A and B are shown apart, each in its own frame.
Chain A
């Protein structure tokens, strides 16, 4: 059951990644530049936060909080 319930983090990861891209689209006029910015931001976020075991392998609220803040920012 432990690994099953942790799959909820996949949903939050998807939302966080999607809204990083959508926020970049709001920031940059050209979608191509926004896409490159979004990919760069996602890469940095992945290395520093989104794929760390303290975030992915637990059910702490940091990841949902980050995803919901990105949604609210958009």
Chain B
């Protein structure tokens, strides 16, 4: 440990910080990809389902609601819903869901 601290003295502080940020980005990326194994096909309920419905309807209709008459209880935090909507829009699988919509609408 002492040797490691001594060796970093030869690198300027700004370079150390740059290396640190690169290290942080790599570790965070690796960590985030590792969490994918925890994601299952378990159904979404209650607030989770509402967030997905809002994201889905937002993409299809532009409405930030989960359907029906607008009520006070319908208010959800917008940023997580917008991120979910962006993912649905950008993910290549989403085209399959949009095609299924066209079939049911007729």
Contact = CB atoms under 8 A, between A and B. Distances in A.
B40 interface: yes
Interface string B1-17: 00011001000010011
A25 B79 contact: no
Interface range, B side? 35 or more
Interface in B66-85: 76-77, 79-80, 83-84
Contacts of A34: 20
Interface residues of A, number: 41
Interface string A11-32: 1111101100110010000111
Interface in B5-44: 5, 8, 13, 16-17, 19-21, 23-25, 27-29, 31-33, 35-36, 38-44
24 contacts: A2-B42, A2-B43, A3-B41, A4-B88, A5-B55, A10-B39, A11-B87, A13-B31, A17-B28, A17-B32, A21-B24, A21-B28, A25-B21, A25-B24, A30-B8, A31-B13, A31-B17, A38-B27, A58-B44, A59-B44, A60-B47, A61-B51, A61-B77, A64-B79
Interface of B: 4-5, 8, 13, 16-17, 19-21, 23-25, 27-29, 31-33, 35-36, 38-44, 47-48, 51-52, 55, 76-77, 79-80, 83-84, 87-88, 91, 93-94, 97
Interface of A: 1-15, 17-18, 21-22, 25, 30-32, 34-35, 38-39, 42, 46, 50-51, 53, 56-61, 64-65, 68
Given A11-B83, A35-B24, A60-B51, 19 more contacts: A2-B42, A2-B44, A4-B93, A8-B87, A9-B35, A10-B32, A10-B33, A12-B80, A17-B31, A25-B21, A25-B24, A31-B13, A31-B20, A38-B24, A38-B27, A57-B39, A60-B48, A61-B76, A64-B79
